[in-house]
A and B are shown apart, each in its own frame.
Chain A
Amino acid sequence: DAGVTQSPTHLIKTRGQHVTLRCSPISGHKSVSWYQQVLGQGPQFIFQYYEKEERGRGNFPDRFSARQFPNYSSELNVNALLLGDSALYLCASSLSRQLNEKLFFGSGTQLSVL
Protein backbone atom coordinates (compact mmCIF):
# COMPACT_ATOMS: atom_id res chain seq x y z
CA ASP A 1 0.00 0.00 0.00
CA ALA A 2 1.19 3.51 -0.80
CA GLY A 3 2.17 5.71 2.09
CA VAL A 4 1.50 9.42 2.39
CA THR A 5 2.63 11.12 -0.79
CA GLN A 6 3.52 14.77 -1.11
CA SER A 7 4.26 16.90 -4.13
CA PRO A 8 6.41 18.55 -5.16
CA THR A 9 9.45 17.29 -3.24
CA HIS A 10 11.34 20.54 -3.68
CA LEU A 11 10.24 24.05 -4.56
CA ILE A 12 12.02 27.36 -4.98
CA LYS A 13 10.01 30.57 -4.83
CA THR A 14 10.73 34.27 -4.41
CA ARG A 15 9.35 36.59 -1.76
CA GLY A 16 5.77 37.67 -2.35
CA GLN A 17 4.87 34.68 -4.47
CA HIS A 18 2.19 32.12 -3.72
CA VAL A 19 2.72 28.36 -3.32
CA THR A 20 0.46 25.28 -3.24
CA LEU A 21 1.62 22.04 -1.68
CA ARG A 22 -0.26 18.80 -2.17
CA CYS A 23 -0.75 15.70 -0.07
CA SER A 24 -2.41 12.33 -0.65
CA PRO A 25 -3.14 10.40 2.54
CA ILE A 26 -2.95 6.67 3.01
CA SER A 27 -6.01 4.99 1.55
CA GLY A 28 -8.81 4.95 4.13
CA HIS A 29 -7.34 7.73 6.24
CA LYS A 30 -9.75 10.61 6.74
CA SER A 31 -7.55 12.95 8.75
CA VAL A 32 -4.79 15.06 7.24
CA SER A 33 -2.50 17.37 9.20
CA TRP A 34 0.13 19.82 8.04
CA TYR A 35 3.34 20.67 9.89
CA GLN A 36 6.14 23.15 9.24
CA GLN A 37 9.66 22.10 10.18
CA VAL A 38 12.31 24.79 10.16
CA LEU A 39 15.89 23.49 9.93
CA GLY A 40 17.14 22.25 13.27
CA GLN A 41 13.75 22.35 15.00
CA GLY A 42 10.82 20.07 15.62
CA PRO A 43 7.72 20.22 13.43
CA GLN A 44 5.12 22.87 14.24
CA PHE A 45 1.41 22.17 13.75
CA ILE A 46 -0.29 24.24 11.06
CA PHE A 47 -3.68 22.63 10.31
CA GLN A 48 -5.71 19.51 10.76
CA TYR A 49 -8.57 18.47 8.50
CA TYR A 50 -10.94 15.63 9.23
CA GLU A 51 -13.81 14.62 6.98
CA LYS A 52 -13.14 17.70 4.85
CA GLU A 53 -13.58 20.14 7.71
CA GLU A 54 -10.91 22.15 9.49
CA ARG A 55 -10.60 20.71 12.99
CA GLY A 56 -7.53 22.49 14.24
CA ARG A 57 -5.30 25.44 13.44
CA GLY A 58 -1.89 26.29 14.81
CA ASN A 59 -0.37 29.68 15.46
CA PHE A 60 0.23 30.67 11.85
CA PRO A 61 -0.81 33.83 10.01
CA ASP A 62 -3.78 34.01 7.66
CA ARG A 63 -1.39 33.76 4.73
CA PHE A 64 -1.56 30.03 5.40
CA SER A 65 -4.70 28.21 4.31
CA ALA A 66 -5.63 24.66 3.48
CA ARG A 67 -8.45 22.50 2.30
CA GLN A 68 -9.36 18.84 2.05
CA PHE A 69 -11.06 17.34 -0.95
CA PRO A 70 -13.79 14.65 -1.15
CA ASN A 71 -11.11 11.99 -1.78
CA TYR A 72 -9.38 13.19 1.45
CA SER A 73 -6.35 14.60 -0.34
CA SER A 74 -5.31 18.04 0.81
CA GLU A 75 -3.65 21.24 -0.30
CA LEU A 76 -1.71 23.75 1.75
CA ASN A 77 -1.56 27.26 0.32
CA VAL A 78 0.80 30.00 1.42
CA ASN A 79 0.39 33.54 0.08
CA ALA A 80 2.82 36.45 0.07
CA LEU A 81 5.80 34.25 0.85
CA LEU A 82 8.42 35.49 3.28
CA LEU A 83 12.01 34.33 3.68
CA GLY A 84 10.99 32.82 7.01
CA ASP A 85 8.57 30.47 5.28
CA SER A 86 11.55 28.46 4.05
CA ALA A 87 11.10 25.07 5.67
CA LEU A 88 10.21 21.42 5.22
CA TYR A 89 6.42 21.08 5.05
CA LEU A 90 5.21 17.72 6.28
CA CYS A 91 1.83 16.18 5.70
CA ALA A 92 0.54 13.44 7.98
CA SER A 93 -2.52 11.24 7.79
CA SER A 94 -4.37 9.09 10.30
CA LEU A 95 -7.55 7.04 10.50
CA SER A 96 -9.10 9.11 13.24
CA ARG A 97 -8.42 11.82 15.81
CA GLN A 98 -8.19 9.43 18.73
CA LEU A 99 -5.65 10.25 21.41
CA ASN A 100 -3.52 7.18 20.66
CA GLU A 101 -3.81 7.43 16.89
CA LYS A 102 -0.38 7.54 15.33
CA LEU A 103 0.31 9.86 12.46
CA PHE A 104 1.87 8.61 9.24
CA PHE A 105 4.06 11.24 7.63
CA GLY A 106 5.09 11.87 4.08
CA SER A 107 8.65 12.77 3.12
CA GLY A 108 7.74 16.43 2.91
CA THR A 109 8.09 19.34 0.52
CA GLN A 110 11.26 21.37 0.94
CA LEU A 111 10.34 25.00 0.25
CA SER A 112 13.04 27.58 -0.29
CA VAL A 113 12.05 31.24 -0.48
CA LEU A 114 14.66 33.53 -2.02
Chain B
Amino acid sequence: AQKITQTQPGMFVQEKEAVTLDCTYDTSDPSYGLFWYKQPSSGEMIFLIYQGSYDQQNATEGRYSLNFQKARKSANLVISASQLGDSAMYFCAMREHGSGNTGKLIFGQGTTLQVKP
Protein backbone atom coordinates (compact mmCIF):
# COMPACT_ATOMS: atom_id res chain seq x y z
CA ALA B 1 0.00 0.00 0.00
CA GLN B 2 1.18 3.48 -0.83
CA LYS B 3 2.31 5.27 2.31
CA ILE B 4 2.63 8.65 0.64
CA THR B 5 0.23 9.68 -2.12
CA GLN B 6 0.60 12.74 -4.30
CA THR B 7 -2.33 12.78 -6.69
CA GLN B 8 -1.27 15.72 -8.85
CA PRO B 9 1.34 14.65 -11.42
CA GLY B 10 1.57 18.20 -12.76
CA MET B 11 0.40 21.65 -11.74
CA PHE B 12 0.52 25.10 -13.32
CA VAL B 13 0.42 28.39 -11.43
CA GLN B 14 0.67 32.00 -12.50
CA GLU B 15 3.64 33.94 -11.19
CA LYS B 16 2.86 35.75 -7.90
CA GLU B 17 -0.15 33.54 -7.15
CA ALA B 18 -0.39 30.90 -4.43
CA VAL B 19 -0.51 27.18 -5.12
CA THR B 20 -1.32 24.11 -3.02
CA LEU B 21 0.36 20.76 -3.60
CA ASP B 22 -1.51 17.81 -2.13
CA CYS B 23 -0.10 15.00 -0.02
CA THR B 24 -1.85 12.27 1.92
CA TYR B 25 -0.09 9.67 4.02
CA ASP B 26 -0.80 6.39 5.70
CA THR B 27 0.75 5.23 8.96
CA SER B 28 -0.29 3.55 12.18
CA ASP B 29 2.71 4.98 14.02
CA PRO B 30 1.60 7.81 16.34
CA SER B 31 5.01 9.44 16.05
CA TYR B 32 6.11 10.49 12.61
CA GLY B 33 7.51 13.40 10.68
CA LEU B 34 6.48 14.84 7.36
CA PHE B 35 8.85 16.60 4.97
CA TRP B 36 8.59 18.45 1.70
CA TYR B 37 11.51 18.54 -0.72
CA LYS B 38 12.02 20.42 -3.98
CA GLN B 39 13.97 18.83 -6.82
CA PRO B 40 15.00 21.18 -9.64
CA SER B 41 16.28 19.80 -12.93
CA SER B 42 19.81 19.70 -11.45
CA GLY B 43 18.71 16.68 -9.41
CA GLU B 44 19.55 17.85 -5.91
CA MET B 45 16.77 17.46 -3.34
CA ILE B 46 16.28 20.68 -1.38
CA PHE B 47 14.57 20.61 2.03
CA LEU B 48 11.63 23.00 2.30
CA ILE B 49 9.63 22.33 5.45
CA TYR B 50 9.03 19.84 8.29
CA GLN B 51 5.96 18.97 10.36
CA GLY B 52 6.01 16.63 13.34
CA SER B 53 2.96 14.55 14.18
CA TYR B 54 2.75 16.10 17.65
CA ASP B 55 3.25 19.68 16.49
CA GLN B 56 0.24 21.76 17.44
CA GLN B 57 0.73 24.45 14.85
CA ASN B 58 1.17 24.25 11.11
CA ALA B 59 4.79 24.68 10.05
CA THR B 60 5.88 27.74 8.10
CA GLU B 61 9.18 28.56 6.40
CA GLY B 62 9.16 31.85 4.51
CA ARG B 63 6.84 31.46 1.50
CA TYR B 64 6.20 27.82 2.36
CA SER B 65 3.55 26.63 4.76
CA LEU B 66 2.23 23.19 5.54
CA ASN B 67 -1.51 22.64 5.92
CA PHE B 68 -1.45 19.73 8.35
CA GLN B 69 -4.78 17.94 8.89
CA LYS B 70 -3.94 15.00 11.12
CA ALA B 71 -7.38 13.39 11.16
CA ARG B 72 -7.47 13.39 7.37
CA LYS B 73 -3.82 12.32 7.19
CA SER B 74 -2.99 15.11 4.82
CA ALA B 75 -0.01 17.44 4.71
CA ASN B 76 -0.47 19.85 1.84
CA LEU B 77 2.27 22.29 0.88
CA VAL B 78 1.22 25.88 0.20
CA ILE B 79 3.58 28.11 -1.76
CA SER B 80 2.63 31.77 -1.63
CA ALA B 81 3.64 34.40 -4.19
CA SER B 82 5.00 31.90 -6.70
CA GLN B 83 8.24 32.73 -8.48
CA LEU B 84 9.64 31.43 -11.75
CA GLY B 85 12.38 29.69 -9.77
CA ASP B 86 9.75 27.59 -8.01
CA SER B 87 9.33 25.51 -11.18
CA ALA B 88 10.53 22.07 -10.11
CA MET B 89 9.45 18.65 -8.89
CA TYR B 90 8.07 18.58 -5.34
CA PHE B 91 8.13 15.54 -3.11
CA CYS B 92 6.26 14.81 0.09
CA ALA B 93 8.04 12.36 2.42
CA MET B 94 7.46 10.70 5.77
CA ARG B 95 9.66 9.26 8.48
CA GLU B 96 8.13 6.89 11.03
CA HIS B 97 9.61 6.74 14.50
CA GLY B 98 8.62 3.23 15.46
CA SER B 99 9.96 1.41 12.45
CA GLY B 100 13.36 1.10 14.06
CA ASN B 101 14.69 2.62 10.89
CA THR B 102 14.31 6.29 11.61
CA GLY B 103 16.77 7.35 8.98
CA LYS B 104 14.48 6.17 6.21
CA LEU B 105 12.36 8.67 4.33
CA ILE B 106 9.39 7.33 2.37
CA PHE B 107 8.72 9.51 -0.66
CA GLY B 108 5.65 10.09 -2.76
CA GLN B 109 5.63 10.09 -6.56
CA GLY B 110 6.08 13.81 -6.77
CA THR B 111 4.27 16.75 -8.37
CA THR B 112 5.77 18.80 -11.17
CA LEU B 113 5.07 22.48 -10.70
CA GLN B 114 5.40 24.97 -13.54
CA VAL B 115 5.17 28.68 -12.84
CA LYS B 116 3.96 30.78 -15.76
CA PRO B 117 5.21 34.36 -16.23
Q: A56-B101, A99-B33, A99-B97 are in contact. Are A45 and B106 (CB under 8 A)?
A: yes
Give the residues in chain B near A84, CB-CB below 8 Å. Answer: none
Give the residues in chain A near B64, CB-CB below 8 Å. Answer: none
Distance A108 CA – B52 CA, assembled complex (angstroms):
27
Question: In the complex, how many angstroms separate the beta carbon of A66 from the nearest chain B beta carbon?
Answer: 13
Q: Tell me if B42 counts as interface (CB < 8 A to partner A).
A: yes
Distance A54 CA – B85 CA, assembled complex (angstroms):
37
A99 with B31: CB separation less than 8 A: yes
Number of A-B residue pairs having CB atoms within 8 Å of each other in the complex: 69
Q: A42-B107, A108-B43 are in contact. Are A99 and B101 (CB under 8 A)?
A: no
* Tally of chain B residues near chain A (CB < 8 A): 28
Give the residues in chain A near B32, CB-CB below 8 Å. Answer: 99
Give the residues in chain B near A108, CB-CB below 8 Å. Answer: 43-44
* Tally of chain A residues near chain B (CB < 8 A): 30
B47 with A100: CB separation less than 8 A: no
> Given A31, A56, A92, A110, which contacts B45 in the complex, CB threshold below 8 Å?
A92
Question: In the complex, how many angstroms separate the beta carbon of A86 from the nearest chain B beta carbon?
Answer: 15
Question: In the complex, how many angstroms separate the beta carbon of B63 from the nearest chain A beta carbon?
Answer: 18
Chain A residues packing against B (C-beta within 8 Å): 31, 33, 35, 40-45, 48, 50, 55-56, 58, 88, 90, 92, 94, 97-100, 102-108, 110
